[in-house]
Structure 1
Amino acid sequence: MILWGRASSVNVQKVLWALDEIGLPYEHKIVGGKYGGLDDPKFAALTPMRRVPVLQDGDVALCESHAILRYLARDQMTPVGDMWMEFGSTTLQPPFIGLFWQRVRMTPAQQDAQVLASQLDALNAGLAILNTSLSDERAFIAGDDFTMADIALGSLFYRITDLYPDLLADHPHVAKWHKSIAARAGYRQWIATSYDELKVT
């Protein structure tokens, strides 16, 4: 099994964390971003989209991080877990990306205060939904067991809380869940890492 992608990509981080949680052996080929390689014929043959991550498992080649998570957990995925993974894609990740690009990938002069405020409002709205869902004191996103849904959503939270340290104060159930998943080895190794190489100075 080969994972293609740079570890500074949050979508690649999801898959690295998942592979470690499952305990599967794999080779990591670093491509994308400043590392290049997306036009390499070996990589281009795996995906028409030419973006990371890509998981190569024998004759199977998959891109799109959540599709890869579903593939890795295909015997354990539940409809509820799948629903929350989609919530991450449609509700949490878009404003997170908007905020990250404004705060990290642009200079202060390029940043737009209105865009930042709008994206922060959207992220808070999503966090409020998640907080209400977690208010029944279940341990993880989809129930009492850690699943790929926790990885799909949880991979965003190191950067969210790094950029906005007080953001979870109004979402205590999310904060409690995040504290729990942040203690896991895969989170510490792959998610709680520097993103300095992505910063525009």
Structure 2
Amino acid sequence: MKIWGRASSVNVQKVLWALDELAISYERVDAGGKYGVVDMDVFARMNPMRRVPVLEEDGFVLWESHAILRYLGSSPSASQTLVPDDAKARAIMDQWMEFTTSTLQPAFIGVFWQLVRTPEAQRSAETVARTRAEYEAGLAILEKKLSESAFLAGDTFGMADIAAGSLMHRTLDLGLLPSSMRAVKRWAETLAGREGYARHIATSYEELRAL
């Protein structure tokens, strides 16, 4: 199995974390950002969106990080907890993965881009405030859910936690989590104790910072 994508991409990180959880061996190839590659025709044949990550395995190619997570969860080595067999439990998992795609991560990217990817002199205080408020609204939905259960899909760690949890290191590091959101903080601290999180999520993003 080969994973195309730079290690500083949060979408690549969540895939690498899942691979660690499942003890699946792989080779990672730097692509995207300063590494280029995504502009090459050979890459575009794998992913017409020219984005990372891309999974390549014995001629099979898959892109979109959450599609990759679901595929990995269907592997023989996947435990029932990461992607449950029960249709309703699996739908709940999918619900929170889709929430991450549609609501949580776009809001996070908005504020992250302002605070990290934009030179300080070019930042807009109004845009920072707006994007931060949008992200906090998404976090508030997580807070309510995590006040009711230990993890997003219930009382057991699973793929939904990998999808949304991949944002937590940068969220905490940038001070984006309101102090009142104790359930999210508890959840994030629990995730931080997992080896895959420590190896792939709790890493430096300095190469992304605008000079």
TM-score scaled to structure 2, two decimals? 0.90
* Aligned match for 2:199, one of 189, 198, 201: 189
Structure 1's consecutive aligned runs of 4 or more residues displaced over 4 angstroms after TM superposition are none
For the residue of structure 2 that corresponds to 1:169, the secondary structure is coil
For the residue of structure 2 that corresponds to 1:28, the secondary structure is strand
For the residue of structure 2 that corresponds to 1:45, the secondary structure is helix
* Aligned match for 1:157, one of 168, 172, 177: 168
1:59 Cα deviation from its structure 2 partner: 2.5
CA shift digits 1:25-54 (9 cap, x unpaired): 111111111111113344232111111000
Q: Are residues 1:52 and 2:52 paired?
A: yes
8 Å CA contact 2:151–2:157 kept in 1: the answer is yes
* Aligned match for 1:89, one of 78, 101, 110: 101
For the residue of structure 1 that corresponds to 2:127, the secondary structure is helix
1:179 maps to what in 2?
189
1:120 Cα deviation from its structure 2 partner: 1.0
CA shift digits 1:52-89 (9 cap, x unpaired): 00011222211111111111113725100100001111
1:168 Cα deviation from its structure 2 partner: 3.9
Q: Are residues 1:127 and 2:133 paired?
A: no
For residue 105 of structure 1, what is the amino acid of its counterpart?
R
1:142 maps to what in 2?
153
CA shift digits 1:91-148 (9 cap, x unpaired): 1111110111101111111111111111111111111111111112x22110121111
Unaligned runs of 5+ in 1: none
TM-score scaled to structure 1, two decimals? 0.94
8 Å CA contact 1:168–1:175 kept in 2: the answer is no
For residue 9 of structure 1, what is the amino acid of its counterpart?
S
1:18 maps to what in 2?
18
For 2:71 and 2:143, how far apart are their aligned partners in 1?
A: 28
1:169 Cα deviation from its structure 2 partner: 1.2
Count residues with an aligned counterpart.
Answer: 199
For 2:119 and 2:160, how far apart are their aligned partners in 1?
A: 33
For 1:106 and 1:40, how far apart are their aligned partners in 2?
A: 26
For residue 144 of structure 2, what is the amino acid of its counterpart?
T
Unaligned runs of 5+ in 2: 76-82, 85-89
For residue 124 of structure 1, what is the amino acid of its counterpart?
E
Q: Considering only aligned residues, what root-mean-square deviation do their CA atoms show, in Å?
A: 1.3
